[in-house]
Amino acid sequence: MSTLTLDPEKISSVKNNASAIADDIQKFINKHSSISVERSLLRLYGVDGATKDGTPYVNRIVEIAKKDLAQYGITKLLAAATLKTKRDIQTTAELLATKEIPINVIKELSSAELEVKEREFATIAIEKLRKSKEKKERKKRDLPMPQAPWKYLIVATGNIYEDVLQAQSAVLGGADIVAVIRTTAQSLLDYIPFGATTEGFGGTYATQENFKIMRAALDEIAKKQKRYIQLVNYASGLCMSEITACAAIEDLDMLLNDSMYGILFRDINMQRTFIDQYFSRLICAKAGIIINTGEDNYLTTADAIDNAHTVTASQLINEALAIRAGLPEEQMGLGHAFEINPTIKNGFLYEIAHAQLARQLFPRAPLKYMPPTKYKSTDVFQSHVQDTLFNMASVMTDQVVHLLGMHTEAIHTPLMQDRYNSLGSANYCFNTAASLSSEIEYKKGGIIETRANLVLDKTVSFLREVKLQGLMNAIGEGKFADIKRTQTGGKGLDGVFVKGENYTNPVLKILEAQNE
């Protein structure tokens, strides 16, 4: 692969400053938990189902336990309850949810009994995550992964069964990754609906049952195609870590999981988001799930030329936070996008500069490269040309996760025929230019190299500023995506609490110990 000449001292500077920024956030994370983290634990232990009124048992139990969560944590409370009832986890959970037994019987049991039961729960959870990773690795051995760039295609009908048909059709057309978009505003729901769903607006509800249905459907078509097909969903918003737990149980391959996306674009409280992204990434690391970050969204609200350095800075911060959760670089699908105004002279060269800079800053990461959307028009022919240039940029810079552009982006939700056309363009570009990156060299001091170094220089200065004021304050000033959020604003702050002296989270303890 051809490379740009970049100053190694500047690369060290941005990495070190991002690390310091992440350390500051991690100090806050370590002292806190959230109701969504506690619900995630219940799901990993095996609590499933919903009450007659449709409230998930995990929500009902955590709500009942809310006044005791900070002091003990949900694991200790559930451990005490199961010891008291002498019943299994699910039955005990149902009894707790209906208040047939009290939530706090800890004082009736010895600390030794509780510790044994908590370790038992933690073993169940860790084993689920280990087995999920093992199953996926076995499938990939039997059905080899295609060569990158992996063609990533979205389905979003609102009906999981219709999604299955569209997903399997996409695979037949050449898709390597299928992403099921969530229904509009699900990130604002502080619960996960139970069961399969057939109604959604702009997407399909992310539920554990829907994950299971789509995973089975893709495994079926993968065997016929003799290649492994990866499944993606979205783990952001108020249920970030909880959706991650469901995804791990059902063997998903990738999750959209960004440390700041929910804060900036969905107005989720930043304290809640930073806490939840940490636990969700610990789960991803153990279950072998690749995260996809959302830096492409910055360029929908900020200019791609003027603010390219904020994308790079966010990638570096996401990387640093992911490292603290034990994610190897091979599981960091850091995001970026092809979003420069097409009327700008040499805009394609700048796009190459941005993509190549990301590739060199994160050499082993399966970067997620997003297509043009901001400057799409209803001229489908012009739109298709923009997508084709995006495809070429991906091949030239050795991208890995390549989200297909749609020529009808500005008209309607893409139809199956639209996806077919997009796959055709990508298949052609990836085949006809397969070895392009190893055949070209970048001109020393040329437009591409100069642009990449300018973005790197701006990133150096930007991260120094963020380090001095702290990430939460920087977000408050609108340094990312030109959007301002406050530390106590947004949705979900009431679900955050400081851990008490007797608080325990044995799953967290094991996952963190494995990262040391």
- Give me the helix-helix angle, 111-142 and 35-45, nearest 10°: 70
Contact between residue 197 and residue 178 where contact means Cβ atoms under 8 Å apart: no
Residue 149 — left, alpha, or beta (φ > 0 → left; ψ -120 to 50 → alpha)? beta
Q: Residue 203 gets which letter from DSSP? A: S
Of these residues, 276, 296, 398, 418, which one is catalytic? Answer: 296
| 443 noted as active-site residue | no
Nearest of 218, 151, 221, 184 to residue 419 by alpha carbon: 151
Residue linked to tokens 């970067």: 367
Q: Is the dihedral of CA 389, 393, 396, 399 positive or negative?
A: negative
Q: Which residues contact 434 (CB under 8 A, 6 or more apart)?
A: 147, 395
| H-helix or E-strand spanning residue 273 | helix 270-287
Q: Which two tokens mark 31? A: 């002292």
Three-state SS sequence of 385-421: HHHHHHHHHHHHCCCCEEECCCCCCCCCCCCHHHHHH
Of these residues, 234, 261, 350, 369, which one is catalytic? Answer: 261
Contact between residue 485 and residue 35 where contact means Cβ atoms under 8 Å apart: no
| 191 noted as active-site residue | no
DSSP result, 452-466: HHHHHHHHHHHHHHH
Contact between residue 489 and residue 269 where contact means Cβ atoms under 8 Å apart: yes
Does residue 153 sit in helix, strand or coil?
A: strand
Q: Which two tokens mark 6? A: 């970049």
| 296 noted as active-site residue | yes
Q: What are the b/e assignments for 353-374, b being 16+ CB within 10 Å? A: bbbbbbbbbbeebbbbbbbbbb
Q: Which two tokens mark 87? A: 């019943």
Of these residues, 76, 128, 136, 368, which one is catalytic? Answer: 368
Beta bridge partners of 178: 153, 231
Query: What does the alpha-carbon distance between residue 52 and residue 510 come to, in Å, rounded to a whole number?
Result: 35
Q: What are the b/e assignments for 68-97, b being 16+ CB within 10 Å? A: bbbbbbbbbbbbbbbbbeeeebeebbbbbb
Query: What does the alpha-carbon distance between residue 261 and residue 276 come to, in Å, rounded to a whole number?
Result: 12
Positions marked active-site: 261, 296, 368
